[in-house]
Structure 1
Amino acid sequence: MLQFMIDSRRQVLLLLYLLIPAYILAQSDTDTNNARVLLRDGKADTATIARMLRVGEAFLDKPESREEDMNMAFRMADQMEALSRQINYPRGLGLSKLLRAKAFRESGHADQGRASSEKALQLLTQYGTVREKAQAVIELGGTYSNEPKDLPRKIALYQQGADIYLKNGNKLSAAQLKEFIGDLMQLNKDYDGALRVLQEALSIYKENGYQRLQGLYSVIGGAYQGTNNFVQSLRYNLLAVETAEKLNEQGPLMTTIYNRAGLNYYGVQYYDQALDYFDKALAHARHLHDTGTVKALLLNISDALRNRGEYNRSLDTLRSVERLHSAPQAHEIIQIEIGYLRDYIALRALPKATPHYEKLKKLLETGSEIPVFTQAMRLAVIFYLQETGHFRDAAQYLNAYQQHVKEFQGGLVRQAEAALLAFRSDSALGNLSGAIAHFQRYKQLSDSVTSINQSKQLDVLRLQFETERKDKDIELLTQKSTLQEVSLQKEKVFRNVVMGGICMLLLILALLYNRYRLKKKTTSRLEKQQEAINAQNELLKKLVDEKEWLLKEIHHRVKNNLQIIISLLNTQSRYLDNADAIAAIKNSQHRMYAMSLIHQRLYHTDNLGAIDMQWYIRELTGFMEESFDTGPKITFCIDSEVILLDVVQAVPLGLILNEAVSNAIKYAFPGDRNGAVAITFKKDGTQYCLLTITDDGAGLPDNFIPEESPSLGMSLMRGLAEQLEGSFQIKSSPDGVSIQVLFLIRSINQVN
């Protein structure tokens, strides 16, 4: 027996569609501030009352209405009622009652809105439009539950609403309401009445050219299932699947349609087809993040796998149900435990089945509100006890099952299982007469089940044959129609082809001659253009060569000039005895050498626009190390990627490196203190480069503020960082000083 049938959400969606107002809700209608202004300043006239109705319904129709939205709708209804009484406007009073009833329904207390719905129906019947009256009738029907005691009144009200729509000419709304009524009649077990109303809805839809019939087909299939008309049930469920897939249905309805088709095949033991549809339904439910439906479908799949003898896969499916982050309902717990118990018994893993037997036993002791699940638990417990040899313990559960069998007899499969279990119990306990009677009962029921299943399977084959024959007939008619059309067109086409061929031949000859002349002119013009282009290319090549020679010459001369200036400064320093002046000249020499290196590199390479910064950093650091004669006292660690920089960025970056290294050599390691200077230059992301100079020396003085420092070197580094359009950071600690320059590179090439 399949334990669970997915509840379709289409009933609620359809009812909400029928209650949505005809006008389009503006986004400003759900603005809380605007709504408060309307409540405070709204005038006592019909236009204001109509707008309050629109705003109140807009708050209720928000995708995820919250408590404050409900409260705003109630406030709108109260103000509508007050204004309507003020101007003696009975229609507005009826609309206010209708809005209040809707607010109760949306807040989950539909029954509390019954009095408002009845008053709205009374007023709108006399003073409102036909549509408003229909909405009041439907709203009143919505205040009744789906319990057996309320269903007849609810169905009668919805039927009244459908009649109003039909009389008003709104046939589509009437059909949608009839579709909903048919669904309710199925809940009330009135399958014949449901089929009558659903066929009326189908006729109206087809008359109006409405194509989204998948939901209606699915409901009709369910109604035929209730009347045990398996063939028609399968026919309409497959028609629902075909229509939904053709129209690319994406909502929760698609899950229900797939599941119902799977249930049809499950009922005739076509478990492969059933699993195909269950899997489709499961994939769709997971796409919609519908955890409750996913859980129900997994239980269906577990049942189908168990009936097909795939017990391990059935167990894996049950474990998937338990892994879902959703608190299971009572009937789901029962189904899971029964599934585990039967799977483990089938696998002869009785110790693993024992905990689930204990849980079912405890659930039986607490009692279940649903007789079908109580009886199912009893059969599972009896099955376990007999498999473990406890026939006397099983007898008490058999007696309990037989005492309640009249309350819920169950299907033939369950009755046959109960008879077989009773036969086994009587045989083990020595009750031979009882065993014979129960065995005869089991054979009778088993034969009935086999006969019914065979009949249903024959019906499936007949339906498949009829469908295939129908498709073949349609294909044959299509082919005949095509052949007739081809025959009628044949002579006309032949005549037109001959005439057209002659005209085409003349046209082709004319085009070929014209093409020949154009090609000749074009060839002559292209030859002249090619000669001009070749001459221009030669000229440009010479200009490029001259430009490259000039650039190399410029870099060479700039490098020489910088070397001359360095030599002049070196000569000048010999005649100075002022230490500060000598230091300033030496710093200037270092800066000029940093720039000179760049021009020297450009002169000796073919790439005149970019500097290899890995080479440059090593060369400049080596020069600084030799210039200051650091010896083994200071160790330089260089970690640089091979990055090519534009000259405009390489020069200021080299000067910053020169200043930072000079400062580290001169001030970081006073006295005989040894240390290390680490220089890293790497890409930071895809568009930025980061230069870091770090030493482990004495650090900056505690009262040193870089931004306020009058030092030329510090000012120079900050200014050069701004020239690079980058950031300059300096950090000092007892462990040393770290300088970082982050900038956006203009052009960068990673050399592999």
Structure 2
Amino acid sequence: MNTNQAWSQTQNRIDSLKRLLAHTPPDTNRTRILLQIGQQYYDNYNVVRKSRSSSNIGDVHNLLDSAIGYARQVVNLSSGTKQLSQQAQALYLLAKCFSFGESYDSTRTFDYYQQALKAYQQLGDKPNAAKVLENWADLVRLRVGAKKAMPLFMEELAIQQSYRDTAIYYTLERIGVLHHMMGNYQPALQAYLQSLRLAEQSKNIGYQIDINGRLADIYELLGDYERAITISHKRLRLIRSQRGIESINYLAGQYNILMILYQKYHKPYLARQQALTIIELTRQDPHQKSLPLTTYLAESYVVLGRYELAEPLFKHLLPLYEKPKNLSGLTDIYKHLGELYWLTKRYEQAQYYYQKALAASQQGRFPDKTVSLLRALFKIDSAQGHLRSALLHFQLATAINDSLFNQTKNRQFEELRTQYETEQKDKDIRLQKQQIQVLSQQQQLQNQQLLQDRLVRNSVGLGALMLLLLLGLTFNRYRLKQRSNQQLQHQHELLLAQQEQLQTQQTEIHHKNQHLQRLLDEKERLLKEIHHRVKNNLQVVMSLLNSQASYLSDRAALSAIQQSQHRLQAMALIHQKLYQTEGIARIPMADYIEEVVAYLRESYELPQPIGFDMQVEPIELDVTQAVPLGLIINEAITNALKYAFPKGRSGTISVVFHWLRPTTFELRIADDGIGLPPDYDPAASRSLGMTLIEGFSQQLGGELSIRSQAGLTIVLTFSEHQLTALGSPTDYSYQ
């Protein structure tokens, strides 16, 4: 339905309401109809404004003026508590109408929002009061700034908490965004984490995807790339769980984020893995003309060093950003081109595009991007020997960066100072109250003292008569108390002796515990050192095999040495994990399997694209099970890379490792290659790789099955600590 058709239907509804209005007396029903007509005009204005088309409808602002006119009639006619609901709705409608374009008036808009909020509060309508605050705060954020919008969002949050709004995490996210914009990263992080926790409780997967993206951005800004990568992988799993949004653009965008994070985290081989995945996704796109997808593909080629493929893609994107004058996109594209020419040592072209990126960044007021571009120009000038220009760019970058840093610090200092002054005033008020309370108590004590003096004077005579009797009784009590004190002194001495004996025993126990703890720490250090040395020895053996390979010309011998190196690397990674982690007997299999696959993928360097589908749950295994399992994975993937895709055939290898039951695991390695020959029997095979897979499967006490249908699938099912005679929980070997 186009805009004209929608307006035609709206006009019919408005005409119907106007005919009804002509026969309605001035009561609650009349104000309700007036409000409906105003709302119809406002809703249609929004439709026309968003469609950016107003042909055959007349002046778009007439719609907004009509909505304002009917809303004002409701405000003028509604009086008393019976029509307070219609008055609140009309005030809210007026506030929204005056928020747009030429009709915007900050004084009137904010006043109408304030009146609407007050009316809803009088009605006790907390959800609508929160909604008014939400729209008001958004307008203030856009028109005035984030700092002025923060109190409104905080008031909305307080109202939502009072009636336990289940969607309160949306408000927490907006508060986090404001802190993010103001450079207050720690409060932003706290708001995002609280929002994510509530969103997980409500099982809103779509929102969890968004808030995890914001968390990853915060951690990246704080330099915590490890957490940013972990959250990005979690976001990728959530995206895959939602089939409705699992589009190629969405997935490629998330892999692009991971690629950039791995580059910053100095893990180039993992960054290249993400780049290959993006390239594989673009081949699945039937159109291959999406603007974001083309950008991701070009960036992937740069990471892989395929500059000749990246350059035409970036140049294809330039007019798509130049025509709508998208300054942020233009800055990024110019920067990508400058980086490409810098990497290929074409310094003049690199300087040209970096200068254009700098101009777009300054026009768009992107200070963070301006700093990075000035530093890039500093490197180019230095490489070309233009020292004066290099110094100028370096000084500008430093000045802008210091300015941003000082603005953030000054703002935080001002907030701390305000908080301190407020606390001091509160403290002074409390001190004054305490002083007043002390003076009151002193007055009461003085009055009580006067009463006591009067009683003393009256009782002096009676006291003199009683004194003699008291003296006699006191002497008798003194003798009895002296005997009791002697008995108590004797008992006290006995208790002291017992306490000294107990303290001596406790000291001995403490010394023994310290000695045992030192022995335990020493044992753990020795075990870590053993694992370190075993890993180093395995690396030495790999170096020796590599040296030996340089003297061999027989391809079979070279292949055998290469496979031995791969097996040694799989075992060396186990020991590397053992001495790098806090525990000394548990291996995080997700990281381990990912590193084994990356190593094998880079070792073979096949000319055709081979994709990897990794689905590994966060499982930790005992070292006695991790070693044989790692060798099985090494053998299976090596065989797939060598034999499954002959003659340049492309394909995919999937690795799945997950729980079947609380103590039972399943490893599934499959490829879509040519599979096994029809007459091949894995059970009768004498190849070393198949023998090792079967032997290690028996060592794990697992059930192994091999199927050759549309490729090759190896499935191993085993239980935790279910070891055969080949191994035990305290002893393992590489056989």
How does the TM-score come out when normalised to structure 2? 0.46
Higher relative contact order (CA 8 A, sep 6+): 1
